[in-house]
Structure formats: C-alpha cells, structure tokens
Amino acid sequence: MLKIYNSLTRGKQEFVPIEAGKVRMYVCGVTVYDYCHLGHARFLLVFDVVQRWLRASGFDVTYVRNITDIDDKIIKRAQENREPIETLTARFIEAMDEDAAALGAEKPDF
C-alpha cells in the first residue's frame, strides 16, 4: 500500500487514485539554462521510481514532466552568451535528456 503525506491534514493517507486504475502524474521539471546538478538527478530518479512502482502495481500511468524553457534566468544567460533563447534551451534540454538516460531514468510520456 502506498501512503502519501497530505500537507493539508498533516498526516499520511492511503493513496487512492481519482479514477480507479489510472494515475496522472504531473512533475515540475528543470529550468534549462545550464547543465543538470545533483538536485536535478534526485528529482529525475525519485519520480522515475514512483512511476515505475505505480506501473508495476498495475496502474495505467500518464507521466508528464514540464521543462521551463522561458524564464528570467534563461533570458539573462542567452543575453550573456549572445545566442537565441531557443538555441540555449535546446542545448540544455538535450543535455538533461542525456543525463537522465545515463542515470537509467525512463522518459516521461509527455
């Protein structure tokens, strides 16, 4: 049985999906203006383990992870590098995907 900490009630409660047999996971991702660090590796692996466990437990999982590709830090870094924002973010998204693969983390569904 999976228990989740509920910050509203300040206690653990049994996980029960909104729709029986299906789980929709939305995870905030990285802001892609530099290479990944240990904190990024931690979140990649933690949510990879969660979605794998849910799937292994028989749930139909939709795993979505966002990538912040426009942000003040990104704009500043692109200006410092004298490159388009799209070029900067594409480079660091690719680097993040390579790092996640090297860690053995599965790609999210979306």
Confidence of residue 65 (pLDDT cuts 50, 70, 90): very high
Kindly report, residue by residue over 47-63, the tens digit of the pLDDT. 999 999 999 999 999 99
Find out whether 51 and 106 touch, Cβ atoms under 8 Å: yes
Q: From its phi and psi, is residue 91 left (phi > 0), alpha (psi between -120 and 50) or beta?
A: alpha
Asked whether residue 95 carries a pLDDT value surpassing 90, the answer given is yes
Give percent above pLDDT 70 in the chain.
100
Q: What SS3 class is residue 63?
A: strand
Question: At residue 39, what are phi and psi to the nearest 5 degrees?
Answer: -60, -40
Asked whether residue 96 carries a pLDDT value surpassing 90, the answer given is yes
Can you give the residue ranges of every domain in the chain? 20-103
* Mean pLDDT, residues 55-75 taken together: 95
Looking at residue 1, what is its pLDDT? 83
20-103: CATH class: alpha beta
